[in-house]
Structure 1
Amino acid sequence: MILEKLRHLLPTSAANPYIACALVCCSVATVVLVKWMRQRQIKKKLDARKKKKEQNLIQMQEAVQCFKKQNPAVNLESIVSLSLLELTEKLREGSLSPDSVLYAYLGKAIELDQEVNCVTDFIEESKAQLQELKQMKEKGLLYGVPVSIKEHIDYKGSESSCCLVQYLNIEAEKDSVVIQVLKKQGAIVFAKTNIPQGLYSLSTSNPIFGLTLNPLNHKKLPAGSSGGEGALIGGGGSILGIGTDLAGSIRLPASFCGIAAFKPTAPRLSTIGVTTPLQGFLSVLLALGPMARDVDSLVLCMKALLCDHMFRLDPSVPPIPFRDELYLTMKPLRIGYYDTDGYTMPVPCKRRALHETRKLLQEAGHTLIPFTLPRAGYAMEDLFFKTFFADGCQILYKELEQNIIDPNVIDQFFMYKLFHFARRILAFVTKPVFSRFAKLMNASCGVRSVKELWEMNAAIQAYCEEFTAAWKKLDLDVVLCPILGPAFNIGYTGKLMVTCSSTTLYNVLNFPAGTLPVSTVTEEDEKELRHFKGHYNDFWDKEYKKAVEGGVGLPVAVQCVALPWQDELCLRFMKEVERLTQEKRTRR
């Protein structure tokens, strides 16, 4: 048939079937050659960037070794064992120097990076910042504290590529607002950390910097998208980090890596200078927040960031400083709780840990009230996915198709690549046996018009009102609930994006939410896991079960939530959970 069409199109002299066949072969060969040349160019850029990281690593190793030789009496290991509050006190009183602290964490971060591959870039300017600190007239709240940041947060002179090859070698022209505020408070930004290719994935892996492993168990993963940050802090290579959260990207790595993290109400902290592939996505707001070892560190970071300097740099941020009166209140709390959202059933260790925490809170004098979530599945499938994929995945596809696709995002890329009619057919065929997949396929087709997008935004607002009414009907202060985990085995995070409903819900609602570890996986938990079926007993539930197997000893976290703009109350609740958990461990 092709030859017949060519015969009609070509002049008579060129209509010979052999010539036509040769033309077809030449066309195919040209396409193949162009693709090969393009892949080769991409590989060259990847190799160059990997070499740049190696050189950066060698330079920093040499700097650390030089400091050790010049200061043999400084015990760097004892420095990294201090809490943030202990560290800041010693820095302010002068018993520790910023130089010692920076090189202690640089050394630890380099060592950890070679184990779990969590850093994309060590910031060379951090050494120059030491000299600037000496000239500071007033010591800020984070004076001399080394801070790590997620890769896509702009730092002048560094890349914010979202781990996409087309954005390599494009350096930020100025610091993001959060970096400017950190510097004003005396912090030293010393490292950028790994993220997924294209940012939106549970798997912190990309062809540029590779796969990041969980520091607590190298057969496990740290989740995403702030997975490099979670791994670096969880492994002791950073004392304080800044991540971003759109569907749990701060809280999930914290849950997997056994640290504390906090997603504030958006836009409590400025996101100016934070690069994302979906820069105009405003149906669900991106939040920027701190990650650290304990709640005190999160509180100190929030106090430092919520200052006049940030309010001047970004007038769109409400000028609300940290409210100690909310954080320090001692009144007993009315705490709602639930052990499943009805969409992603927590595995046995998660439900056990939540009810143990509930019991501790009750014994401490707080009032615990069962809370039934209004339509969590609807929030995930009909609100979040529908608006996130509003353009039918076109932008995400175009951003990724210019790259060598990482194996851990190949399933997502395949969905982005499918024609809409193919997604509709898949949804129709799978609906009777795999309803969640069918709904995802339909949602990925996006909206048909601007009017439909507006209607979706109105539906989000209506759902927020419905949820808030259910909350206020019980007169709740805060809510205790599960969070995804424990850490997944290698090879599963890319397949299980739908399991993050526990965190995504509070992005849709824009409620402040934090997480912290309260227990560890036991042998008994592992035995009970054998009988786990989930809510649907579908492919995703079965994969989820496999993903968390072999987790004995890994941290188990809970999630703490408050109403919008009650960020300090949420942190106070987290502190109470942390205090009671620590007291329980001490009694043992």
Structure 2
Amino acid sequence: MSDFVVNFCFDVLEDSRLPVVVGSTLVGVLTLYVGHKVYTRQQFKRKVRRKNEERQKALKDVLSSLHTDDKEVEAKRKEIISLTLPQLSQQLKDGQLSAVQVLQAYQEKAFAVHDDLNCVTEPIPNALAKAEELDRAGQRSGLLHGVPVSIKDNINIKGMASTLGLVKFLENYAQEDSVIVQVLKKQGAVPFVKTNVPQTMLDTGCSNPLFGKTLNPHDPTRSPGGSSGGEAALIGGGGSVLGIGNDIAGSIRIPAHFCGICGFKPTANRLSTRGYFNCSPGIQGVISTCGPMARDVDSLVLVMKALLVPDMFELDPLVPPIPFRHEIYESKKPLKIGYFLDWELKLATPAITRAVKITKEALEKAGHKLVPFQPPKSDHAFHDMISKLLLADGGKTIRNRMAGEIVDPRLRLGLPFLTMSYFWRKVVGVLLKPISPRMSRIQSHRLLRTIYDLWQRLVEREEYVREFLAAWEEADIDVLLCPATPMPAFTYKGAPSLYETATYTSIFNLLNFPAGVVPVTMVTEEDDRLLDDYIGSDNDIFDRYVRQVSKGAVGMPVAVQCVALPWQEEACLRLMKEVEAGFKQ
């Protein structure tokens, strides 16, 4: 038998038709491959088109139900939109407003904002039925009775898809509400829209091939931030009074800063994350959590009070049963506050450092003590620990998520950097070194190839947490004030996926400290002029990108970041309230 096979092979090799046969085979295989790709792409486009037709119909159906020529109704809706969340909640509780009135006012406003910014993915189908049920019940119980709430795309609502901006998940229908949505409903809230995210949620822009690009409410040429960009844009545009997002490296805080609203990231597991769909499940060391977004700090406090209740602790026994501690939040004792304007990365632009300076002065005027504080080895934490832990699987999870997908233009450049093999990372790292030493350092790091490698990085993270806590204790501070991000909202045009936008936020995910942002000022003409002299740490190409895409941001909001020790959410919110009070007219 073996002789037959050998002779047959020699006959084939001697056959003068072999090149033609091989060539024809290769052409055939290539044709099949390209044909399959084209067919798949067309199938994806049809799904996207069908989804958007359904989406537009759902939006039009809700809008048509809102139409009125009654001037009194129109005036009442405008009045409702102008109320703060505590005011709105009180009037709902007192019976001055009905849940249906409030819902319809916010539906109308949300869809008007969406027309300008493209921030809503879908209306929630049973919102009106939920509001009518609340009104029929008569009894007004729950801290959020009748309050409309917008929900980020990846947080599960029964019967709706959590997509991450990926076509393959268009039919990823949730079997039940996430725990956080269940508790909101038990407190009387009315979830009414889902909001947009960047594809895979790994960008500080906000666009994907399913629902398109979301714009900033203060300047449509600029990003609203990510990944909770749809939430921030909707709230910043006045279309929602309360939203729920989630944060793994700044995904609540960066959009809140960009859009001029407040956002809060609790200690991981202070709020349940059961029932939200993650792009990279299994990540260890850089910790994701859900959190609220709103126009002011009082609203954040109200929703934290509403969520930290026995219902949440029973629905998710993994959440420690720690209710909201009013005595910490309401304390009048002067605070000792650490602060820093920048760190050794030297990335903060003039508007950002000025915001921290004026906040420091306002807090000192209010009777608090401010002392300098410098995070230990922050450069090492960001460039080594965080990047290694976020990609501990070598990018395999992201590759699997993106397999066969239409890639959003903003991800086309960054995606290969996230998913390439160690060999190519080293090659690219060497090529990047002359123009971007920082990106070269991130790109060149060794992938974690074994469980032992991962454990060593987690040990390194634990040591860094201890070192940070020791520095905190030595400074004897209660809370910390620092920049929210290195820059104001950047322009979409010319902006790559700016990884270093998350330098000042992701470190507190690594540490697992609660952190929130509060808007305090706007970019001035002087800030913009000083940007011409901005160099950064080593005139890295990314410093030049930061300068380029930050230029012309006059009038854009600028926030500061407030931080507390783990499980001290109330202390963090108290600092946020003190900051906000220092800038109220």
Q: TM-score range by the shorter chain?
A: over 0.9
Return the offset for 1:10: 4.6
Name which of 251, 254, 258 aligns with 2:253: 251
1:437-456 paired onto structure 2 within 5 Å: 437-443=439-445, 446-456=447-457
1:61-117 per-residue CA deviation (whole Å, 9 max, x = no partner) reads 112116x66974762111101111111111111111111100000000101111100
Q: 2:104 is matched with which residue? A: 103
Gaps of 5+ in 1: 1-5
The whole-number CA distance in structure 2 between the counterparts of 1:344 and 1:192 is 37
The answer to which of 344-353 and 456-465 deviates more is 344-353
The whole-number CA distance in structure 1 between the counterparts of 2:300 and 2:146 is 17
The whole-number CA distance in structure 2 between the counterparts of 1:8 and 1:265 is 70
Q: 1:201 is matched with which residue? A: 203
Number of aligned positions between the proteins: 576
CA contact (8 A) 1:225 1:253 kept: yes
Which secondary structure does the structure 2 equivalent of 1:530 belong to?
helix
The answer to which of 177-186 and 85-94 deviates more is 85-94
Q: 1:562 is matched with which residue? A: 564
Which secondary structure does the structure 1 equivalent of 2:552 belong to?
coil
The whole-number CA distance in structure 2 between the counterparts of 1:502 and 1:470 is 17
The whole-number CA distance in structure 2 between the counterparts of 1:237 and 1:544 is 30
Give the TM-score of the pair, scaled to structure 2. Answer: 0.95
CA contact (8 A) 1:202 1:493 kept: no
The whole-number CA distance in structure 2 between the counterparts of 1:289 and 1:101 is 23
Q: 1:91 is matched with which residue? A: 92
Which amino acid counterpart does residue 465 of structure 1 have in structure 2? R
Distance verdict in 2 for CA 1:146–1:18, change over 3 Å: same
CA contact (8 A) 2:92 2:146 kept: yes
Which amino acid counterpart does residue 92 of structure 1 have in structure 2? K
The whole-number CA distance in structure 2 between the counterparts of 1:288 and 1:344 is 29
Which amino acid counterpart does residue 199 of structure 2 have in structure 1? Q
Distance verdict in 2 for CA 1:70–1:463, change over 3 Å: same
1:278-324 per-residue CA deviation (whole Å, 9 max, x = no partner) reads 11113222111000000000000000000000000001101000000
Which amino acid counterpart does residue 455 of structure 1 have in structure 2? Q
Return the offset for 1:432: 4.9
Distance verdict in 2 for CA 1:43–1:254, change over 3 Å: same
Name which of 267, 270, 277 aligns with 2:269: 267
Give the TM-score of the pair, scaled to structure 1. Answer: 0.95
Q: 1:427 is matched with which residue? A: 429
Return the offset for 1:463: 0.3
CA contact (8 A) 1:250 1:289 kept: yes
The whole-number CA distance in structure 2 between the counterparts of 1:13 and 1:499 is 62
Q: 1:517 is matched with which residue? A: 519
1:120-139 paired onto structure 2 within 5 Å: 120-133=121-134, 134-135=136-137, 137-139=139-141
Which secondary structure does the structure 1 equivalent of 2:193 belong to?
strand
Return the offset for 1:36: 0.8
Which amino acid counterpart does residue 210 of structure 1 have in structure 2? G
1:170-185 paired onto structure 2 within 5 Å: 170-185=172-187
1:506-562 per-residue CA deviation (whole Å, 9 max, x = no partner) reads 010011101011011111111111111111211111001111111111111100011
Q: 1:290 is matched with which residue? A: 292
Distance verdict in 2 for CA 1:446–1:171, change over 3 Å: same
Which secondary structure does the structure 2 equivalent of 1:558 belong to?
strand
Residue 25, structure 1, aligned to residue 27, structure 2 = yes
The answer to which of 174-183 and 348-357 deviates more is 348-357
CA contact (8 A) 1:333 1:366 kept: yes
The whole-number CA distance in structure 2 between the counterparts of 1:8 and 1:331 is 92
Return the offset for 1:381: 1.4
The whole-number CA distance in structure 2 between the counterparts of 1:555 and 1:347 is 14
Which secondary structure does the structure 2 equivalent of 1:268 belong to?
coil
Residue 475, structure 1, aligned to residue 476, structure 2 = yes
- Let me know the Cα RMSD of the aligned residues: 1.8
The whole-number CA distance in structure 1 between the counterparts of 2:569 and 2:92 is 28
Return the offset for 1:474: 1.1
Distance verdict in 2 for CA 1:567–1:403, change over 3 Å: same
1:541-580 paired onto structure 2 within 5 Å: 541-580=543-582
Distance verdict in 2 for CA 1:75–1:22, change over 3 Å: same
Which amino acid counterpart does residue 231 of structure 1 have in structure 2? A
Q: Percent identity?
A: 42
Return the offset for 1:136: 6.7
Q: 2:57 is matched with which residue? A: 55
The whole-number CA distance in structure 2 between the counterparts of 1:183 and 1:16 is 70
The whole-number CA distance in structure 1 between the counterparts of 2:105 and 2:465 is 46
Which amino acid counterpart does residue 300 of structure 2 have in structure 1? L
1:205-259 per-residue CA deviation (whole Å, 9 max, x = no partner) reads 0000000000111111101000000000000000000000000000000000000
CA contact (8 A) 1:408 1:491 kept: no
CA contact (8 A) 1:212 1:221 kept: yes
CA contact (8 A) 1:129 1:188 kept: yes
Q: 2:530 is matched with which residue? A: 528
Which secondary structure does the structure 1 equivalent of 2:425 belong to?
helix
Which amino acid counterpart does residue 482 of structure 2 have in structure 1? C
Gaps of 5+ in 2: 1-7
Distance verdict in 2 for CA 1:101–1:514, change over 3 Å: same
The answer to which of 469-478 and 35-44 deviates more is 35-44
The whole-number CA distance in structure 1 between the counterparts of 2:71 and 2:358 is 50
The whole-number CA distance in structure 2 between the counterparts of 1:33 and 1:452 is 42
Which secondary structure does the structure 2 equivalent of 1:75 belong to?
helix
CA contact (8 A) 1:203 1:493 kept: no
Q: 1:399 is matched with which residue? A: 401
Q: 1:3 is matched with which residue? A: none
Which secondary structure does the structure 1 equivalent of 2:96 belong to?
coil
The whole-number CA distance in structure 2 between the counterparts of 1:238 and 1:36 is 40
The whole-number CA distance in structure 2 between the counterparts of 1:130 and 1:363 is 45
1:447-478 per-residue CA deviation (whole Å, 9 max, x = no partner) reads 02100101111111110000010001011001
